[in-house]
Structure 1
Amino acid sequence: MSDLATLGQRIRHFRGASGLTLDQLGGRVGVAASQLSLVENGRREPRLSLLGSIAEALDVPVAALLDPAPPTERAALEIELESAQASPVYAGLGLPTLRAGRSMSDDTLRAIVGLHRELARRSREAIATPEEARRANTDLRAWMRTRDNHLPEIEAIAEEQLSAVGHTTGALQHREVREMAERLGFELVHVGDLPHSARSVTDIENGRIYLPPASVPGGHGLRSMALQAIAHRLLEHQAPTSYAQFLRQRLEINYFAAACLMPLQQSVDFLRQAKADRNIAIEDFRDAFGTTHESAALRFTNIATPHLGMTWHFLRVGGDGAVSKAYENDGLRLPVDVTGSTEGELVCRRWAARRAFDRTNRTTEYYQYSDTPEGSFFESTQIGTSATEEFSITLGVPFAESKWFRGRETTTREQSRCPDASCCRRPPQELAEHWSGKAWTSAKVHAHIFSPLPSGTFPGVDDRELYEFLESHSAS
């Protein structure tokens, strides 16, 4: 609709510059003035032949009419007003639609559009709440479960990009990532002063993608962040207006990056061979493509069901036992709150995701069988460390699938009755009786509960910091 509105505004602009009325232009192109009025008001898309006739009558090239930029500031404001009044936010107010007629001054139009911008900003700010994020994430996880965590449409885009830069085998090189960006008209620039609220910044006007200089060993971090920024352009993402849209976009760019770093056919061939050898190990998959353990485990979940015929579960759990990321399609009951959200919930102390923290030697994967009310599962867990915490990455499969995995000979087995509180959450009766009322703990305060998103463009980017960053680098 905005494209048609801009086209209509440009036709009106050039008609006015030519001194023609609607009737006069209609007479030249053989169309009724009422039909031309619909075109100029963005209500009807003209045929290409009519567009050519209009351009000829106005003595301008067709390209001048199709230019995506509004012809004047006034035209841009009129288009923005019409778009704002068509939004669900404005429709929900039950107010009449206001047209920017000739009698409306530019200052009045600017004021009305400014009010709409503030209304939209406050609406975005109102939904930027942890509760909204949790609901949106729960819905997204359920949607991915219906697709077995597999997105073939993004796999196809990744394969096309890899083919275009000649990548056929082995770990994806920084040079190949840079060539992908260049094919889209962008230069990768590493800087040390990115806005605090941004992982990367894409300067569309100057064709630059700004990335941080730091990286995890092996360069995975830099390649992944560059690929995520590239994905926003390839997938034609627009600025998100809700948590659901923001989280969906984040999932898609992460998926694209993984599909480039661990290409589908190479990954399937590798895992099928490992399955044939009864020696599937996430650490081998990780090392073959030079990625992180978490990325390799998540990539396995993209492939396992459609290409290996396996169901699975994935967990990222903090040292305190709280879930930060979880997926499953094998029936494992994840801990959830009343809204169905699992993030922040505690997993059973007897699951591998928590038992792995008890080991002294954490350099290798930890294997165990976990018996739960939903069945028995084989689990492989690796401990990782971020800048702020330790965490575990767990990939699990139903007992019947353990025969394909390294570590299946483990004798470690744990019994879990969760969500029964007597399993591991409620203290044993003798301990409760002995210590109840005899101790006092000064609990830690989780600072993040006091940290709302910064004001500005949803979902929390500091606009002033962002624009000052772009301005400072645009001249370099």
Structure 2
Amino acid sequence: MTILETDRPGSEVDSGADALTLGRQVRERRIALGMTLEQLAAAVDRAPSQLSAIENGKREPRLPLLRALAAALGVTVDELLLDEAPNERAALEIAVERAQRGTVFRSLGIQPIRVSKATSDDTLRAILGLHQEVERLHSERAATPEEARRANTELRTEMRAAGNYFADLERAAAELLRGAGYSGGPVSQQMISTVAEKLGFQLHYVSNVPHSTRSVIDRRNGRIYLSSNLPSRDARAPILRALASVVCGHEEPRNYGDFLRQRVEANYLAGAVLLPEEATVSVLQEAKKQRRISMEDLRDAFGVSYEMAAHRFTNLATEHLELPVHFMKAHESGTLIKAYQNDGVRFPSDALGNLEGAMVCRNWTARTIFAQPDRFNPWYQYTDMAEGGTYWCTSRVEKAKEGLYSVSVGVRFDDVKWFRGRETPHRSKSFCPDERCCRRASKELTLKWQAAAWPEAATPTSLLAALPTGTFPGVDSHEVYAFLEEQEQRS
């Protein structure tokens, strides 16, 4: 514990202890010595009212007074500045006082109670419990779709400014690999198990993982639970995403911004381990030298999915190859699922600037690929944009339980010379967001069918659903806790 280094008059205390904790330390030590407030006030030459304000956490003592208090109480300044409550009762009082001074409590318009010796522990616990529930409900109501989209937009802006590259996560991944003895090539399932073991976790494959989760990590017993139905070739990424909470020091998310950031960091760390920075950059630099950069080759070199290879290329291309790029994942319906860019391409977005959920132009590579009969080979295409010039993209169709989706990586026309597939004759034009580009039917078809057509919309089940709530949005905590309890009792 440290205190302010200067001794000049008027200096304030600078420590980890807040005013409430410091006040309770003073009060408890005074009472332990059998001193009255008036006696302590006389010992430090201050008015009792001043000390009362300090003990109630309403005023912080300046450094000279803090030293005088420590001397009068027979302790050191460091002991008064301990950032822990002196006992359980004091901790409870501090929690209630802090809650009553918070913005949520003040917004209720309720007069705070005076916490005194006569206030029972049960009363304090009841007040604290009620406040915590009100705070939880307040947070859930604040988590509107607009707030979630705004948080997502802010995160994407931050990622774009960093070139979608996070040096701290790259270092963390490299350290994990060194600890597991990685020496090059694809990262094996056994090596991922070693990484988990080094971090103090055992892998457990079970048939009843809660349906609302991909994995469940039990920090108390050092276990990671994954579905036994998970294909072995895909097991590495879920394990690493689960371990990311430990490696990155994640705490329970306070809001959607925290939740989204943690998800991005978990995916990034998984990619950085499975496609190690040094080895991946070496492969890409050689491919650039040969003017044959290819997502398929990167995928095959490290034994990962096409999406992960494309995503990882997006992380490293600008930082190490001086290639601004963009990445897209789009559903066959045309809905944009995920997108990153630092090459100036204009993605579709809503009024808040959010990308996910927007409709991709029918003329973009991410959409035209669905019309191609050959799903085995990649689809290459140039697209002349209304704004920003011409872009070249490579795309591939993947399959998921939600249907088909495309994964695309693109660059500006000036940078296509480094990629395989640049000779493609396929070319299109896009004028979106102008609706005349691809969203409005021709005059002839409109006149013929407008009055005769009556389609029934295939409304998504999530259209009118509330935004998922909870500490981890969409996760059934009752189901998760019951699952962990069952697993613990079995062992």
Instruction: Give the TM-score, by structure 2 length.
Output: 0.82
The DSSP-based 3-state class of the residue aligned with 1:111 is: helix
- TM-superposed CA distance for 1:405, in Å, is 0.7
Please list, as runs of the form range in 1=range in 2, the aligned pairs for 1:89-104 lying within 5 A after superposition: 89-90=104-105, 92-93=107-108, 100-104=115-119
AA in 1 matched with 2:341: E
Paired amino acid for 1:269: S
Cα distance in 2 between the residues matched to 1:99 and 1:224: 53
Task: Say yes or no: does 1:142 pair with 2:160.
Answer: no
Q: What are the superposed Cα offsets for residues 347-386 of structure 1, whole Å, 9 maximum, x if unpaired?
A: 1111110110011120121111111122111110000000
The separation in 1 between residues aligned to 2:134 and 2:440, in whole angstroms, is: 48
Q: 1:435 to 1:302 in 2, by over 3 A?
A: same
CA distance in structure 1 between the aligned counterparts of 2:29 and 2:194, rounded to whole angstroms: 44
Aligned to 1:281: 294
SS in structure 1 of the partner of residue 243 of structure 2: helix
Residue pair 1:352, 1:394 contacting (<8 A) in 2 also: yes
Q: Note the alpha carbon deviations across 1:137-194, whole angstroms, 9 max, x for none.
A: 1111111111111111111111112112111212222222223223332222222222
* Superposed displacement of residue 344, structure 1: 1.3
Give the alignment of 1:453-468 within 5 angstroms: 453=467, 456-468=470-482
Distance 2:223 2:322 in 1: 42
Match of 2:201 in 1: 186
Among residues 110, 116, 134, which one is paired with 2:131 in the alignment? 116
Partners of 1:124 and 1:458 within 8 A in 2: no
Partner of 1:357: 370
Q: Secondary structure at the match of 1:450?
A: coil
Where in structure 2 are the equivalents of 1:221-240 lying within 5 Å? 222-240=235-253
Q: Is 1:158 the counterpart of 2:208 in the alignment? A: no
Q: Give the deviation of 1:283 after TM superposition.
A: 1.0
Q: Partner letter of residue 459 of structure 2?
A: V
Question: 1:376 and 1:158 mapped to 2: Cα distance?
Answer: 36
Choose which of 217, 221, 243 in structure 2 pairs with 1:206: 221
Query: Which one-letter code corresponds to 1:285 in the other structure?
Result: L
Q: Is the 8 A contact 1:240 1:459 kept in 2?
A: no
Contact 1:316 1:392 in 2 (8 A): yes
Residue 206 of structure 2 is aligned to residue 172 of structure 1: no
Q: Tell me whether 331-340 or 461-470 shows the greater mean CA deviation.
A: 461-470
Alpha-carbon RMSD across the aligned residues, in angstroms, is 3.6
Cross-structure match for 1:106: 121
Q: Is the 8 A contact 2:201 2:224 kept in 1?
A: yes
| Structure 1 residue 445: Cα displacement | 1.4
Opposite residue 414 of structure 1, the aligned amino acid is S
Matched position secondary structure for 1:356: helix
CA shift for structure 1 position 455: 5.5
Q: 1:433 to 1:367 in 2, by over 3 A?
A: same
Letter in 2 for 1:226: I
Shift of 1:40: 11
1:445 to 446, 459, 467: 459
Q: Which is worse superposed, 122-131 or 438-447?
A: 122-131
Deviations 1:182-234 (A, max 9, x none): 33322222222222222222222222222222334623xx2112112211112
CA 276–456 in structure 1, closer or farther in 2 if over 3 Å, else same: closer
**8 A contact 1:356–1:392 mirrored in 2:** yes
Name the CA shift for 1:253/1:32 in 2 (closer, same or farther; >3 Å).
farther
**What residue number does 1:327 align with?**
340
Q: Which residue of 1 aligns with 2:394?
A: 380
Residue by residue, what CA displacement relative to the aligned partner does 1:4-37 show, whole Å, maximum 9, x if unpaired? 5899799899979x965579xxx9xxx99999x9
Residues 287 and 110 (structure 1 numbering): CA distance in 2 closer, same or farther, change over 3 Å? Answer: same
Alignment-mate amino acid for residue 123 of structure 1: H
State the alpha-carbon separation in 1 of the partners of residues 475 and 349 from structure 2: 29
Deviations 1:49-95 (A, max 9, x none): x9xx99xx99xxx9xx99989964x4554454355346443355566
In 1, distance between residues paired with 2:128 and 2:339? 43
Larger Rg: 2
SS of 1:291's partner is: coil
Distance 1:436 1:382, change over 3 A: same
> Scaled by the length of structure 1, what TM-score is found?
0.85
State the 1:238 CA deviation.
1.3
Instruction: Indicate the residue corresponding to 2:435 in structure 1.
Output: 421
Structure 1 CA distance for aligned equivalents of residues 430 and 377 of structure 2: 24
Answer yes or no: is the 8 Å Cα contact 1:2–1:79 preserved in 2: no
Distance 1:370 1:177, change over 3 A: same
**CA distance in structure 1 between the partners assigned to 2:223 and 2:101 by the alignment:** 33
Partner SS state of residue 233, structure 2:
coil
